[in-house]
Amino acid sequence: MINITKNIPLRLLLATTNNGKLRELRSLLADLPIQLATTNEVVPALQVAETGSTYAENALLKALAYQSATGLPVLADDTGLEVEVLGGAPGIHSARFSPQPGATDTDRRRLLLDTLFEKPRPWLARFQCAVAVAVPGTEPEIFYGSVSGEIIDEERGDHGFGYDRLFWIPAAGKTLAELDLDEKNRYSHRAIAVKAAIPYLLQEL
């Protein structure tokens, strides 16, 4: 174990190129005595196919691939939106929900609402997140987070990304996209998972 009192510049690689995720992760990990690096800074050419059948498998695939390529400790996540009336879809395919090449978040949100149009309401849903931490010389660990809510039929809010503008959280009285970053870090699935991982990061790093 590295002794953080020796002024050794600890580095943790955040395995995502999604700027929205990076903002959330940097905010959640800001108080740790760790330097945060991004894949674009360290290994911009490396891409990892998300071929797992669960969020945990996909997060682990990314964490281990980047850890092997860089020798750095890595934090990776996989997240999905599960809509009850759609049998849990889009689930692990949330980021690839639209078959349209080069589909944007707007395209995916529009497709979701089109798919739900004639389905009975309320459109209950939850966001699921698995965070994998791979530290050289140790077995990787997985941490989980989940938040329940409802899909609404209009976009609200200018924050966040993905399906956030359609995901209403009753406890907050807002969509995820209406929450500022501090508020989102109190409610979101990713925040819950990352907060669960922080004691492990402090212990291992």
User: Which residues, 6+ apart, have CB-to-CB distance to 99 below 8 Å?
Assistant: none
How far, CA to CA in Å, does 59 sit from each of 131, 152, 166, 191? 6, 28, 24, 15
Residue 186's identity, in one-letter code, is R
| 8 Å CB contact between 144 and 130 | yes
Estimate the crossing angle of helix 19-28 against helix 189-204, to 10 degrees: 50
Burial of 156 (0-12, 13-18, 19+ CB in 10 A): middle
Dist. CA 29–CA 26, nearest whole Å = 5
| 8 Å CB contact between 35 and 9 | yes
| Annotated catalytic residue, options 77, 78, 105, 164 | 78
Active site annotation includes 158: no
Pick the closest to residue 148 from 134, 118, 128, 122 (CA basis): 128
Catalytic residues: 78
